[in-house]
């Protein structure tokens, strides 16, 4: 060999394979540090290990993905929120999380192999293997949790919200402008039903009937609670039920016990049993019946219903980690007033009480020794407590449990196609005012055999004409010993009745003295 051979040999060494050109770390600690850097900044380890082109591509891609994530999180949050209710997008997100996690792990392992020193010995190799294993676990665990949460959300959406063409409803709007559903709709009216079912009960009675009327521009929401004992509930003139009950659902001359089967609370169960299929094909005849009747009674076009199975109410509260409410009076946990059976436990008065699912259920439904008016106030406050508890941190950390509970808790005729727009509207509701429409029980004869439904419609129409933000006084902290009209159970007026609407922050404030004086 001469000079030419030696030159050829030198040239070959400078243009050898990537393995030959790599520059491994000189010590084990340095190797471990660079491996950690490669996990925090994917691609950097490949560059330092000699795979410069591949490393540059991976590093650029990593920075682009981080930038897109920050952009979506800060400037396109509404689009992200809307994506979590579209099953096809959710499946894509789950696959994307899995692919990114797998790619990240491959980069970490490859980077460590390029960076580890050739003379590290068994101890160095063991330390490197442990670090790589921990890094892979740190990537895999949150990725697996993310995939599970995304798939749980997809399962919830597909099980609760059925596509428009795959469900049957006799009262749901036939067409939905998915791109802009609120274009010609100033208010969205949702019927909230609470089925008072449970162990030892047969059938479902809707003891909770609330209309949530939402301003589609501001998100301000007015809640209208209807007493469960309403009689002769009317039907629209174009409804087949109006021909059978032209004067409303009820009968004259019945005893108090007999009237129960003709009250609003019994319509969900009894009318479909008495007149099956009368409104046409339906996946939930009882809900369609109540929607029609409540819409006529309130003078509102009820768009959709959302039915809560109270037997599973405690599950959703527990999944949220509990709710915080003010308890203004003793609330019975059990007991039967008509049979003079006292409750075994009580919720004692106190501010900011954190209730688990079992106690929250009794807070919302406890009836022993109290009136329906007081219970309705507690139910509205329980709804407010759930809205307050559903903060981003709770949803992110406990979502799988929330989704499982929601799948067993909810029934609705809201179509999947409308969910993105509803999510956007829900974000407005979260930061807007939730108020209660005050109904004068005596003036409207709501507890009498023949309520004043014309007066009820007029009261609701006048209340919704006003902006709850301007008609309601700013929230104040009640002075102990000084009762206020707004936080009396049932909104019962004191010397001066409240306005057409009342802010739930006031209605649910802590004031045990006012509660006692309001009895």
**pLDDT average, residue stretch 147-167:** 81
- Give percent above pLDDT 90 in the chain: 26
pLDDT of residue 19 exceeding 60: no
| pTM of the shown model | 0.69
Joined together, the tokens standing for residue 237 give: 């003139």
CB 83 within 8 A of CB 154: no
Higher pLDDT, 398 or 211: 211
What is the pLDDT at residue 509? 84
Parse the chain into domains and list their residue ranges: 17-160, 187-517
Q: Which CATH number fits domain 187-517: 1.20.1260.10, 2.60.40.10, 3.40.630.190, 3.20.20.70?
A: 3.40.630.190
SS (H, E, C) 45-74: HHHHCCCHHHHHHHHHHHHHHHHHHHHHHH
pLDDT of residue 148 exceeding 80: yes
**pLDDT average, residue stretch 25-30:** 78
pLDDT per position as a tens digit, 68-116: 888 887 887 777 777 777 888 889 999 999 999 999 999 999 998 888 8
Whole-number average pLDDT of the chain: 79
Residue 338, CA atoms < 13 Å, CB-side half-sphere: 2
What is the pLDDT at residue 203? 64
Taking the alpha carbons of 224, 227, 230, 233 in that order, is the dihedral positive or negative? positive
pLDDT per position as a tens digit, 196-236: 654 444 567 887 899 999 998 888 899 898 988 899 999 99
pLDDT of residue 5 exceeding 70: no
């Amino acid at each position: 060999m001469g000079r030419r051979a030696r030159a050829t040999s030198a040239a070959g060494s400078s243009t050898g394979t990537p393995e030959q050109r790599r520059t491994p770390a000189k010590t084990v600690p340095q190797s471990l540090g660079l491996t950690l850097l490669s996990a925090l900044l994917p691609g950097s380890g490949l560059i330092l290990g000699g795979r410069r082109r591949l490393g540059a591509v991976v590093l650029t891609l990593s920075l682009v993905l981080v930038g897109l994530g920050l952009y979506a999180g800060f400037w396109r949050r509404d689009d992200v929120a809307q994506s979590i209710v579209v099953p096809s997008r959710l499946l894509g997100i789950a696959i994307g999380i899995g692919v990114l996690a797998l790619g990240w792990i491959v980069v970490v392992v490859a980077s460590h192999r390029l960076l580890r020193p050739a003379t590290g010995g068994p101890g160095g190799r063991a330390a490197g293997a442990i670090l790589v294993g921990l890094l892979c676990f740190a990537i895999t665990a949150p990725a697996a949790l993310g995939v599970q949460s995304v798939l749980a959300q997809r399962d919830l959406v597909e099980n609760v919200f059925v596509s428009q063409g795959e469900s049957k409803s006799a009262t749901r709007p036939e067409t939905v402008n998915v791109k802009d559903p609120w274009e010609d709709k100033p208010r969205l009216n949702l019927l909230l039903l609470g089925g008072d079912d449970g162990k030892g009960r047969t059938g479902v009675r809707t003891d909770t009937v609330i209309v949530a009327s939402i301003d589609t521009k501001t998100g301000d929401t007015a809640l209208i609670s209807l007493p469960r004992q309403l009689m002769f509930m009317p039907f629209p003139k174009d409804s087949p039920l109006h021909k059978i009950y032209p004067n409303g659902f009820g009968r004259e001359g019945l005893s108090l016990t007999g009237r129960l089967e003709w009250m609003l609370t019994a319509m969900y169960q009894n009318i479909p049993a008495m007149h099956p299929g009368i409104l046409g094909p339906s996946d939930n005849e009882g809900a369609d019946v109540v929607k029609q009747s409540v819409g006529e009674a309130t003078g509102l076009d009820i768009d959709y219903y959302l039915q809560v199975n109270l037997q599973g109410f405690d599950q959703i509260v527990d999944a949220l980690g509990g709710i915080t409410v003010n308890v203004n009076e003793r609330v019975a946990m059990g007991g039967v007033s008509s049979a003079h059976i006292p409750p075994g436990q009580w919720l004692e008065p106190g501010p900011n009480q954190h209730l688990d699912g079992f106690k929250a259920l009794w807070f919302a439904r406890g009836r022993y020794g109290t009136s329906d008016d007081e219970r309705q106030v507690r139910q509205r406050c329980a709804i407010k407590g759930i809205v307050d508890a559903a903060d981003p941190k709770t949803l992110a950390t406990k979502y799988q449990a929330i989704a499982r509970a929601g799948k067993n808790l909810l029934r609705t005729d809201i179509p999947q196609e409308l969910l993105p727009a509803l999510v956007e509207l829900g974000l407005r509701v979260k930061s807007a005012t939730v108020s209660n429409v005050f109904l004068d029980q005596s003036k409207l004869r709501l507890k009498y055999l023949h309520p004043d439904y014309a007066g009820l419609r007029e009261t609701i129409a006048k209340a919704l004409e006003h902006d709850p933000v301007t008609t309601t006084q700013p929230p104040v902290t009640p002075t102990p010993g000084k009762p206020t009209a707004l936080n009396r159970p049932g909104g019962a007026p004191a010397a001066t009745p409240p306005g057409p609407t009342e802010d739930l922050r006031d209605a649910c404030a802590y004031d045990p003295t006012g509660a006692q004086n309001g009895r």
